Each structure stands twice: as C-alpha cells, then as structure tokens.
Amino acid sequence: MTIYDNEARLSTGETKSIADYRGKVLLIVNVASKCGFTPQYQALQSLYARYNPRGLEILAFPCDQFAHQEPGSDAEIRSFCETNYGVTFPLFAKIDVNGARTDPLFAFLKSQKGGLLGSAIKWNFTKFLVNRQGDVVGRFAPTTTPESLSGQIETELAR
C-alpha cells in the first residue's frame, strides 16, 4: 500500500483521491478551530502561498478528538478558515485520527512515522511531510511551527 491508495472527502462533500497529488510535496495536518494552535492556519496559508507554485500541497483534516476543539460542521469549519485565515489550501471533511474509526489515510501516515510515544496522534496540528515519491519523510509535533518546516519543504521541492 502507498499513500496514493487512499482517498478522502473534501469539506464540500466531493471525494478526492490522494493519487491526484502524485508528484507533489504534501504537508498533511490534523487541524481544529478552537485550539491553542489554531493560529497556525495563518502560517500554513503563508507556506501554501509561497510554495504551492513549486509543488507543495497542504491537506488539512479537521478533527474533534482532542478536547472537543472542532465542534462545527464541515461547512462551518470551511467558513471559519476562509474568513479568519484566508485559507485556500484543501480542507477535508472532519475525521478521526485515532481509535477504532481512524481515517485510513491517518492510519497509513502513523504506520509510516510513529510519534515520540508511539504512533497515536497526541493533539491537533500534528504534521506529516510527504515527498514527491509518496514517502512520509517527517512527522512533527503540534508545537513545531509551520514556518520552521520551510527548510525541509525547500529540500523536498528541490528533489
């Protein structure tokens, strides 16, 4: 199995194959609107504006598994992100990243790069960096700022 064998539902309801992103560098993030890390949306949007023309895609997956910090509907989440942070990168439908209903994409990501204390996602804004070949090359804690990933993104874009 590869990352490209997965698909996910966009916040608009459309199903999107991850294979559509083949050849791109991906930054995949579980997000939430009512989290202390929510301002990272602004930095993610800055990365997207800077690097998307060179092949970066940011895929954001809202998740309500951590202290009920993503209570809204998919439409409400999309509106919040667009209105407050000018988000233009793809927002997907709300998913689970842990437990029995873990989204298959996140099950794959976690199987490729475990965390410091095991594979479970510990909180919102955990980030996975995927190279152009579909390999998960990095997993980053919520406290890792999007800006601090610029060097690694540049490296992957240059390959």
Catalytic annotation, residues: 35
pLDDT digits (tens, 9 = 90+) for 117-142: 678 999 999 999 999 999 999 999 99
Full pLDDT tens readout for the chain, 159 residues:
899 999 999 999 999 999 999 999 999 999 999 999 999 999 999 999 999 999 999 999 999 999 999 999 999 999 999 999 999 999 999 999 999 999 999 999 999 987 666 789 999 999 999 999 999 999 999 999 999 999 999 999 999
Amino acid 114: pLDDT: 77
CATH of 3-158, one of 3.30.930.10, 3.40.50.2020, 3.30.1280.10, 3.40.30.10: 3.40.30.10
Query: DSSP letters of the chain?
Result: --GGG-EEEBTTS-EEEGGGGTTSEEEEEEE-TTSTTTTHHHHHHHHHHHHGGGTEEEEEEEB--STT---S-HHHHHHHHHHHH---S-BBPPBBSSSTTB-HHHHHHHHHS-BTTBSS--STT-EEEE-TTS-EEEEE-TTS-GGGGHHHHHHHHH-
Domain ranges of the chain: 3-158
